[in-house]
Structure 1
Amino acid sequence: MKPAHPISSRRQWLAHVTATGAGLALPGLARAQAWPAKPVRLVVPFAPGGSSEIVARSTALELGRQLGQSVYVENKPGAAGNVAMQEVARADDQHTLILGHIGTLAVNPYIFDKLPYDPNKDFRPISLLAKVPSLYLVRPDLPVKNLRELIAFARKNPGKLNYGSAGNGSAGHLAMEYLKMASETFMLHVPYRGTGPQLTDLLAGRLDVASVGAPAVMQFIHAGKLRCLATGTTQRLAQLPDVPTVAEQGFAGFEMTQWYGLLAPASLPQPAADRLATAAVAAVRAPATVERLNGDAAMAVGNTPAEFAKFIALEQQRWKAVVARAKIKPD
């Protein structure tokens, strides 16, 4: 005869274990399930008004739903993104994230002699959120109708045209230098402290040319306030079907897109990082987020931390060569 057991069923046994200490036996699991314990701050290392803010805000709402806590966006520009990257790298509250970018992760390491952060050691890559087409734009009264005419004008008038960017090493700066190298032209670079101030002068006619991420300028193109001469994508954009790519206009193989991804400080515990990664993919692939991004010609991605880390490494190799050839220096 089997000895009597005080707990006679599996259901009772599970309830007993839960009530008498399973949570105490697995404190790491309990902490992971508790994260985030308060609202999450998503830092954008650039001034308001650019593609970075649009991507961040498009993702933050759904990310908050996935995490069960609000995610609020905070713009913190300065020093080509270095100010924000340094602050977030040192954040130890476990509720501060940053929007990574082609400039802060793949360009700044090669234009600054010394960075106040290590892009590969101070952060956990979480997920590549979106890719943004680079558009080549001119003020509408500039006497050029397409990219070939712009290049011909620049060659005939070397140094007469100026182009703006959100700052040295920004995606817009890289995109224009890439085009200048491909077309063997010269235009004067005017760096700004963010896309917003740059667009103000471009719309006012104080700048001639710029390359800007599509989300920040689609409304101005459709309103006729800016003229788009070319897209940096390999295929034409559905939102701008009549605008040819750079490659179509005589530069085979040319491609230029910006990209934005989510990163956390390296100090974020692994269980929390895992939960954040799952939530980030679900957030950026949610139909509402995809619709918001597509409306601004941005392309939602969403991948794993390992895939994002590999992508960053490849981009660092690519832009290291471009920076060296263009001799890009910080402000």
Structure 2
Amino acid sequence: MSRRSLLCAATLAACGLASPLAALAQAFPAKPIKLVIAFPAGGPTDITMRQLADNASKILGQPVIVDNKPGAGGTLPAQALQTAQPDGYTVAQIPLGVFRLGYTTKINWDPLKDITYVLNVTGYAFGIVVPANSPFKTWADFVAYAKANPGKLTYGSTGNLTSPHLTTEIIAQKAGIELQHVPYKGSADLMLAVVSGQLMAAADSTGFAPQVEAGKLRVLNTWGEKRLAKFPDAPTLKELGYDVVQNSPFGIGAPKGTSPEVVKKLHDAFKQAMEEPSYVAALGRYDMLPDYMSSAQYTKFAQETVVKEKVVIEKLGLGKGS
């Protein structure tokens, strides 16, 4: 073998010793990234996440393509991560419902151990709305009817075991009323149902804002620490005497085993993307705010939330054994 051949062989051998994962991370991303979200097209989650994806695409230099997977209480994207390659090219929205899965559904994976938490991006502003022509002018009217007609007052949410569903059941329990829950796959379908009178009420994020502003719906309460600037006449749950605040933070996760280098690239790009004025403005349409948590903070939040959600599920008697 010639000296040149020996040098080439040695060089190739040295290259072979370099970590393939490090080389992959250095080149990442080399193709489009899929961002799986938990709700259908046209709702507040879809609209705001598409803006975030668009911003991240420009930062990463590759398209970030939104893939809507509605249903199953918002947990299908997290389930999709379980069969995706841990290469950073599939990431997913992680709604709060994911942290309830271990208590409500038989799954063969662990929401804490089998997801890599990249960052939290925002949370929702929630409330309960009724049609504009409803006889319920106030929350007191709603409660009075429900007490007089147990189980007859229908309300919709964005799915079984979602935050709107569970929080409404907690409110009902505290108010001493029984409601009839009707699940939908997302805000767009839910709003059509309540505006058309198929439902008597809806519990949702402020995807209801355009319908309220158009005079088709009325807000009976909101669920934040303070009243929403857009709906200053709607009292908070705290003002109504319920010690409940719900904003259901959500962020982005990647498959278990995704390399720290790739996670950092994703984190940095999405963090920069959520700081862009266009994303802040998109959130503002629905009274949502940026709610950043780093990878470490988001992982800790996930661990703490799993413990809290167990208490909620047991209180409502909605666990697997119920």
Task: Report if aligned partners of 1:231, 1:245 keep a CA contact under 8 Å in 2.
Answer: yes
Q: Does structure 1 retain, via aligned residues, the 8 Å contact 2:155–2:180?
A: yes
Residue aligning to 1:137: 129
> Which deviates further from its counterpart, 116-125 or 66-75?
116-125
Question: What is the CA distance between 1:52 and its match in structure 2?
Answer: 2.6
Unaligned runs of at least 5 residues, structure 2: 1-10
SS at match of 2:197: coil
Number of the residue aligned with 2:287: 297
Give distance in 1, aligned partners of 2:241 and 2:32: 49
Cα RMSD (Å): 2.2
Residue from 34, 56, 59 that aligns with 1:66: 59
Other-structure match for 1:240: 231
Shift of 1:329: 6.0
* 1:30 shift after superposition: 4.2
Whole-Å separation in 2 of the counterparts to 1:142 and 1:116: 45
The reply to whether residue 189 of structure 1 matches residue 195 of structure 2 is: no
AA aligned to 1:99 is Q
Residue 102, structure 1, aligned to residue 93, structure 2: no
Query: Given the alignment, which residue of 70, 80, 89 partners 1:87?
Result: 80
More moved, 284-293 vs 128-137: 284-293
Which residue does 1:261 correspond to in 2?
251
In the alignment, what sits opposite 1:317? 307
Q: CA deviation at 1:144?
A: 1.5
C-alpha deviations, 1:158-178, integer Å up to 9, x for none?
Answer: 222011122211122112112
Report the Cα offset of residue 147 of structure 1.
Answer: 1.5
Q: TM-score, normalised by structure 2?
A: 0.88
Query: What do residues 178-235 of structure 1 show as CA deviations (whole Å, max 9, x unaligned)?
Result: 2112212111111223333222211111101121011x21111111111111110010
Whole-angstrom distance in 2 between the partners of 1:75 and 1:117: 22
Whether contact under 8 Å (1:235, 1:245) holds in the other structure is: yes
Question: In the superposition, relative to structure 1, how do residues 51 and 321 fare at CA in structure 2: closer, same or farther (>3 Å)?
Answer: farther
Q: Whose radius of gyration is greater, 1 or 2?
A: 1
Query: What pairs with 1:8-47 in structure 2 (closer than 5 Å)?
Result: 29-47=22-40
Q: C-alpha distance in 2, partners of 1:312/1:84? A: 16
Deviation at 1:45, TM superposition (A): 2.6
CA–CA distance in structure 2, aligned partners of residues 53 and 259 of structure 1:
15
Equivalenced residues, count: 306
**1:111 partner amino acid:** T
* Match of residue 208 from structure 1: 200
The answer to whether the 8 Å contact 1:131/1:299 transfers is yes
Hey, what does 1:229 align to over in structure 2? 220
SS at match of 1:247: coil
Superposition deviation, residue 261 in structure 1: 0.5
Q: C-alpha separation between the residues in 1 aligned to 2:139 and 2:54?
A: 38
Whole-Å Cα distance in 2 between the matches of residues 307 and 124 of structure 1? 12
**1:285 aligns to what?**
275
Alignment of 1:113-152 (within 5 A): 114-152=106-144
Return the alpha-carbon distance in structure 1 between the equivalents of residues 174 and 48 of structure 2.
29
1:327/1:196 Cα in 2 relative to 1: closer, same or farther (>3 Å)?
A: farther
Q: Secondary structure at the match of 2:249?
A: strand
- Distance (Å, rounded) in 1 between the aligned partners of 2:139 and 2:73: 28
Q: TM-score under structure 1 normalisation? A: 0.86
The 1-side partners of 2:272 and 2:174 are apart by 38
Partner amino acid, structure 1, of 2:203: S
Once the two structures are TM-superposed, the CA of residue 116 in structure 1 deviates from its matched residue by 4.3
Quote the residue 2:162 is aligned against.
170
Contact 2:77–2:93 (8 Å) recurs in 1: no
